[in-house]
Structure 1
Amino acid sequence: MDITLWDFAALALAAALVGFSKTAISGANTVSLAVFAAVLPARESTGVLLPVLITGDVLAVLTYRRHAHWPTLGRLFPAVAAGVVVGTLFLVWADDAVVRISIGAILLLMAGVTAWRRRGVEPAGPTAAATRAARVKAGSYGVLGGFTTMVANAGGPVMSLYLLSAGFRKLSFLGTSAWFFLIVNVGKVPFSAGLGLIDGHSLLLDAALAPFVVPGALIGKACVARINQRVFETLVLVATVVGGLDLLLS
């Protein structure tokens, strides 16, 4: 990879934003995705970004490890695994333009659905119908999350929307998200390596970028305590919409 000093500076800032997004505003790393895709060949950029994301996931788990909701993770993982497989098959034949348009449209659609649901009134208590609906929702978001995270490392906004729609508060949101993406991203490594997206050259670049994730994560941890729940939810939605528009228009 032919990386100039300015290219590396842009990638370093994007890596710092990954750290911030993992410990503060999940979904904000769609900006990092766009930067990596602009500096590097779009397809190869997903392989370079994945170890950077895993670095941020480790830091997020160390910060919020006690706040995860494991029953939610248990409901999501089977559907996510199916989505990862579908995403891998999709990558075999889809070009960058198809990938970007597909994911951008999905993110904008889900942001609209989540914003609409937030205006409604949640059921007073658990019912059989509500339980079935929750399972369907977890399956739908899980498949889309697995698909988007495999093809473009863009699963953050999808899962953020799911956790918001499920009523998670800040710390539970961040703890559940942290464990979810650490497990999913580590699980994606063999698929990405098999597609030739991760190799020795990409790992050398990752080794240089990983240290920049740390200050971003520390800044995010300091900021999240100062953000109230309503502002937190709004920022997550805004980050999702910005990421979706960027993918559609770039």
Structure 2
Amino acid sequence: MDFELWRWSMFALAALIIGLSKSGVPGLGILNVAIFQILLDAKDAVGFGLPLLIMGDFCSLLIYRRHAEWKHVLRLVPWAVIGVIAGWFTLGKMDGSQARLVISLVLAAMLALHAARQRWPKLISEALPHSYGAAASIGVIAAFVSTLANAAGPIMILFLLAMRLPKMAFMGTSVYFFTFLNLFKVPFLHQQGLVNWGSLEANLKLAPFVAAGSLLGYFFARKISQNWFERIAFWLTVVAVAYMLYLSF
């Protein structure tokens, strides 16, 4: 893939954000999705971002591999399989403009969830039941949204906060779930031509930025206010999603 320098710079920024979001600042994750959506065709952006997310998952596994709450991971995984298949089928039925509109609306919904979590954290947490049925629903929805737009982060944040997990267990459970989910998505997106050798070659050039972001997230997330990280990411993503919606109509 041959891109102008400014595009490579934006891709590098998105890759850095992936590393940061995976290793310690999860609220930033949705911003990289919006950047990819602006720089590429809507469906191509989903496939282009996936290998970078997997790189971020592996970097995060090195940090949090001993901290997962496996009962939550195992409750979500079987239902995530259903969500991926449903998302793959839906994505295959849409053209580029339809995909951009749907993905923009998905991102807008994730922003609304994020804003609600910030405004009413206790209310939102208590609104999510702790039953197996609730976990099944979350697994399907998160995987469906992830397959359409790589944007399931806010859903998982809400679910894991509702489980009242300690910070390290929160990060470990999240990274194991997303590592499985993102790896499982690869053959489905490859079948649609969205993950291909051309995109993988570009991904390899961006891999150092994912690794650098992971290190930054690990060493500095505790010192720099996560609230400020999330506020900046939130408003930048609002602007990006608004622009994407404008392009969709």
TM bin, normalised by shorter chain, reads 0.7 to 0.9
Q: 1:199 to 1:114 in 2, by over 3 A?
A: same
Q: 1:183 to 1:39 in 2, by over 3 A?
A: same
Are the counterparts in 2 of residues 103 and 247 from structure 1 also a CA contact under 8 Å?
Answer: no
Deviation at 1:101, TM superposition (A): 3.7
- Who is 1:199 aligned against? 196
- Who is 2:102 aligned against? 99
- Who is 1:150 aligned against? 147
Deviations, residues 194-219 of structure 1 (Å, cap 9, x unaligned) = 01101111111011111111111101
Q: 1:243 to 1:148 in 2, by over 3 A?
A: farther
SS in 2 for 1:206: helix
Are the counterparts in 1 of residues 27 and 154 from structure 2 also a CA contact under 8 Å?
Answer: yes
> TM-score scaled to structure 1, two decimals?
0.85
> TM-score scaled to structure 2, two decimals?
0.85
Matches within 5 A, 1:127-166: 133-166=130-163
- Who is 1:127 aligned against? none
How many residue pairs match? The answer is 241
Deviation at 1:33, TM superposition (A): 1.3
**Structure 1 counterpart of 2:103, which letter?**
R
- Who is 2:23 aligned against? 23
Are the counterparts in 2 of residues 104 and 248 from structure 1 also a CA contact under 8 Å?
Answer: no
Q: Which runs of 5+ in 2 are unaligned?
A: 245-249
> For 2:241, which of 233, 243, 247 is the aligned residue?
247
Matches within 5 A, 1:1-250: 1-94=1-94, 95-111=98-114, 114-115=117-118, 118-120=121-123, 133-226=130-223, 232=226, 239=233, 243=237, 246-247=240-241, 249-250=243-244
SS in 2 for 1:3: coil
Q: 1:41 to 1:120 in 2, by over 3 A?
A: closer
Are the counterparts in 2 of residues 114 and 161 from structure 1 also a CA contact under 8 Å?
Answer: yes
**Structure 2 counterpart of 1:191, which letter?**
F
Instruction: Find the aligned partners of 2:232 and 2:163 in 1 and give their Cα distance.
Output: 18
Are the counterparts in 1 of residues 43 and 99 from structure 2 also a CA contact under 8 Å?
Answer: yes
Are the counterparts in 2 of residues 76 and 142 from structure 1 also a CA contact under 8 Å?
Answer: yes
Instruction: Find the aligned partners of 1:185 and 1:71 in 2 and give their Cα distance.
Output: 19
Deviation at 1:154, TM superposition (A): 0.8
Moved more, 212-221 or 165-174: 165-174
Q: 1:113 to 1:139 in 2, by over 3 A?
A: farther
Deviations, residues 31-89 of structure 1 (Å, cap 9, x unaligned) = 11111222222211111111111100000000111111100001111221111111111
Instruction: Find the aligned partners of 1:240 and 1:50 in 2 and give their Cα distance.
Output: 21
SS in 2 for 1:49: helix
Q: 1:176 to 1:69 in 2, by over 3 A?
A: same
- Who is 2:247 aligned against? none
Deviation at 1:92, TM superposition (A): 1.3
Deviations, residues 156-196 of structure 1 (Å, cap 9, x unaligned) = 22211211222122211111111111111111100010011
Deviations, residues 130-173 of structure 1 (Å, cap 9, x unaligned) = 99743232122211110111011111222112112221222111
Instruction: Find the aligned partners of 1:234 and 1:139 in 2 and give their Cα distance.
Output: 33
Q: 1:131 to 1:103 in 2, by over 3 A?
A: closer
Q: RMSD over aligned Cα, in angstroms? A: 2.7
